[in-house]
Structure 1
Amino acid sequence: MSISTIITAAGKNSRMRKDQLENNLEVKNKLVLPLNNSTVIENTIDNVLSLDIGECIVVLGHYKDEIIEAISKNYDDNVKFVVNDPVDVGLSVSLLNGLQNTNSKYALCVTGDQPTVSTETLNNIIDTLLNADNPDNTVSVLRRRKTGLLDTAEGLGMPFAMNRNNLIEYIKNENDNLNPILRRIFKDGYEFWGIKEKNELELLNINHYKDYKHLLDIH
């Protein structure tokens, strides 16, 4: 297949950990919190595996042992786990480590704490990229403000899809968050297409405990 998916699951969990301590809750990584009879990370992986993709790569770092131990499903045949070394690196390094473990022409990049982004929306992101006039000069991304052809990359993040080798060139010497890199890509003339969410919950990132609680209340 011409497209693979990178799921980043290597973060410090600092905001969730702080909330849990302040509320006298058991301290657990947000990715292993229960959701839909499994965990947050497993819901994200399952949504990705429902896509017509070449492979799925999950990048681990902080709390890698806790995350691996919490995954009860058998992903041996269709998920490759990659571990950051060292672990204390920025999101761009996690992405790079994932991208360097695949040879697909295009990459869909997702964070592990986005279990609410449906397979339908992820497919729309992929289809918009592959059907673009010039896919190699296009970034297809879940919208934050406007939809369609965008006039700014401000506030954008994952999930998004673009040419794998081109993305590697932008992040190979970086140790940073994603948005500054996307802004630079936009400045260099790439077309950015904002994809509308299926529902408001798809825009939710589980950073704080209140985000997780809101997700549980909806479900």
Structure 2
Amino acid sequence: MKGVSCIITAAGKNRRMREDLQSKGMKIQHKLLFRINNDPILTCTVKKALQTNLKECIVVLGHFMNDLYLALAEINDKRLRTIENPDVDVELSQTLLNGVSNCKYEYCLCLAGDQPTITTKTMKNLINQLSKSSEPENTITILARGETGYLDSAKGLGMPFACHSSLLKHYLQGEEDNLNPILNRMVADGVSLYGVQGQNELELVNINRYDDYLKVLKMWQGKE
């Protein structure tokens, strides 16, 4: 592969985390600003992505963008670009489409901003497995949550994944949905889906709720 773009989605409403913080009487803030190892979650995710051989890293912002701009300001890397959703009230599919529509390279690695637990090695493995495919233009390599190798269903799967940008441009156009139903439609149409083994159980934890954040902190400390 001549070059790979990374797209990191960081445009969500932060609804579930806001609900949790409010119920606990805690200060309301975006989950991507909670810290892990002294870095905001978003910054941690971006730094790991930049440790790969990516040609560019695009962070797509929407809700709370002013706060998230501040978190990214400390990263000094020419490969990092930030773009904004024209309309902040969109689903993940449109945030991802905005990112892929602005990428400069044919292949892309797609991450969620709240995935600081994904290791750089797994990111590299997703890209490397895609490059080994006999049909990289019609293949998605994705972090497995169970079975690995070629899969016949995307059930329970989402980011991170890697694929040719044309696949996303085709399947995301006009969609207002989460990623999983779109992945399943792609598989039904004959797109190859390859599950890549993760490095540890921590990579499978999604930080949506405050308890998820506490769980990640506890598990992270156990691996240091």
Structures share fold, TM-score greater than 0.5: yes
Aligned to 2:46: 45
Alpha-carbon shift at residue 76 of structure 1 (Å): 5.5
Q: Following the alignment from structure 1 to structure 2, what is the Cα–Cα distance between the partners of residues 172 and 75? A: 33
Alpha-carbon shift at residue 57 of structure 1 (Å): 0.1
Q: Is the 8 Å Cα contact of residues 143 and 197 (structure 2) preserved in structure 1?
A: yes
Task: State, as a whole percentage, how many aligned pairs show the same letter.
Answer: 44
Aligned to 1:123: 124
Q: Following the alignment from structure 1 to structure 2, what is the Cα–Cα distance between the partners of residues 137 and 94? A: 22
1:134 matches 2:135: yes
- Equivalent runs, 1:1-219 vs 2, <5 Å: 1-75=2-76, 77-218=78-219, 219=221
Q: CA RMSD in A?
A: 1.1
Q: Which amino acid aligns with 1:133?
A: S
Q: Following the alignment from structure 1 to structure 2, what is the Cα–Cα distance between the partners of residues 49 and 182? A: 26
Q: Is the 8 Å Cα contact of residues 42 and 71 (structure 2) preserved in structure 1?
A: no
Alpha-carbon shift at residue 66 of structure 1 (Å): 1.2
Q: Is the 8 Å Cα contact of residues 43 and 71 (structure 2) preserved in structure 1?
A: no
Q: Is the 8 Å Cα contact of residues 55 and 79 (structure 2) preserved in structure 1?
A: no
Q: Following the alignment from structure 2 to structure 1, what is the Cα–Cα distance between the partners of residues 76 and 17? A: 26
Q: Which amino acid aligns with 1:139?
A: I
Q: Helix, strand or coil: the match of 1:82?
A: strand
Deviation readout 1:146-176 (Å, 9 max, x if unpaired): 1111121111100011110121011011111
Deviation readout 1:48-67 (Å, 9 max, x if unpaired): 00010110000000010111
Q: Which runs of 5+ in 2 are unaligned?
A: none
Q: Following the alignment from structure 2 to structure 1, what is the Cα–Cα distance between the partners of residues 197 and 60? A: 26
Q: Following the alignment from structure 1 to structure 2, what is the Cα–Cα distance between the partners of residues 190 and 97? A: 22
Q: Which runs of 5+ in 1 are unaligned?
A: none
Q: Which amino acid aligns with 1:98?
A: G
Q: Following the alignment from structure 1 to structure 2, what is the Cα–Cα distance between the partners of residues 165 and 2? A: 14
TM-score in terms of structure 1 length: 0.97
Give the count of matched residue pairs: 219
Q: Helix, strand or coil: the match of 1:144?
A: coil
Q: Helix, strand or coil: the match of 2:215?
A: helix
